[in-house]
Amino acid sequence: MMPSPSRLIIRNLSSVLDLFLPQPCPGCRSAILNHQEHLCMHCSLTLPYTQFETLRNHPLEKLFWGRIPFGFASATWYFLDHSPIQHIIHAIKYEDQHVLGIHMGKQMGLRVQQLITDFPIDLLVPMPLHPKKEIKRGYNQAELLCKGIAMTTGIPIGNRAIQRTVQTKTQTRKSRSERWDNVHTAFSVAQPTAIHSKNIAIVDDVITTGASLEACGRSALLHGASSVSFLGMAFTA
Ligand SMILES: [Zn+2]
């Protein structure tokens, strides 16, 4: 059904107004006055950076010790409940905030420059969603992060190289071993030639126990990846 002329006028007017009215910051809902910015000044300056890229033997690396051989493991921010970083991740994951996802990915890319100089990466692999979940959501948030990382690092993205073949139940209230039971057979390599002999980095939004990354990394190694590294937007300490 065609929208009525008055409805069309209102819709056009509101998109014109959007260009001039301050937008709410996805981190704290305060107004962003500069339309070129994605976050307000306060959020930009106070997001909890982990600095993992400058550290060795940090808690995220330790998470994978003894579980899987890996190149590097890093995350750009700490995940804190009820904080701007949680709201930003929510917006990227559930509110179609694609430009914000790419912007945060660019920041991640800038932070890992030194890591990838020391340990070059050939391919970024977004943590796959189960196809049903991706259709329902309309996109994969990890792919948005990869796009931003690719823009600042020049590393290509291997989008469909690995697939999630089992739709896992929510991991939120599960222990580390329960999460492992839940995901260890959840991935398959759809394009072995894409990852064969490559140093890949698997990119995810939030790293908590690392069970999904480990399972995804294992299937990549089984199918001939030279190495796997893990890169998260945020780490739940
Ligand atoms: Zn803010």
Task: Write the pLDDT tens digit of every residue in 127-172.
Answer: 999 999 999 999 999 999 999 999 999 999 999 899 999 877 665 6
Q: For residue 44, report the distance from its CA to the centre of ligand 1, in Å.
A: 7
Tokens of 86: 């949680």
The helix or strand, by DSSP H or E, that contains position 63, with its residue range, turns out to be helix 59-64
Question: How far does residue 46's CA lie from ligand 1's centre (Å)?
Answer: 9
Mean pLDDT, range 206-235, rounded to an integer:
96
Q: How far is the CA of 12 from the centre of ligand 1 (A)?
A: 27
Residue 128: is it exposed, middle or buried by C-beta count within 10 angstroms (0-12/13-18/19+)? buried
Q: How far is the CA of 103 from the centre of ligand 1 (A)?
A: 15
CA of 48 to the centre of ligand 1 (A): 13
Q: What is the CA radius of gyration of the chain?
A: 19
Residues lining ion ligand 1 (Cβ < 5 A) are: 25, 27-28, 40, 43
Confidence category of residue 185, pLDDT binned at 50, 70, 90: confident
pLDDT tens-digit series, residues 39-83: 999 999 999 999 999 999 999 999 999 999 999 999 999 999 999
Q: Please tell me the predicted confidence (pLDDT) of residue 35.
A: 78
pLDDT band for 180, please (50, 70, 90 cuts). Answer: low
Contact between residue 200 and residue 229 where contact means Cβ atoms under 8 Å apart: yes
Question: Which DSSP string corresponds to 7-18?
Answer: HHHHHHHHHHHH
Ligand 1 centroid to 97 CA: how many Å?
A: 15
Cα(83) to ligand 1 centroid in Å equals 10
Residue 17: what pLDDT? 61
Q: How far is the CA of 84 from the centre of ligand 1 (A)?
A: 7
- Nearest residue to 168 via CA among 149, 191, 187, 154: 187
**Domains of the chain: which residue ranges?**
1-46, 48-235
Q: Ligand 1 centroid vs 42 CA: distance in angstroms? A: 6
| CATH architecture, range 48-235 | 3-Layer(aba) Sandwich (3.40)
CA angle 69, 73, 78 (to 5 degrees): 145
Nearest to 183 by CA among 90, 89, 68, 60: 68
CA of 130 to the centre of ligand 1 (A): 32
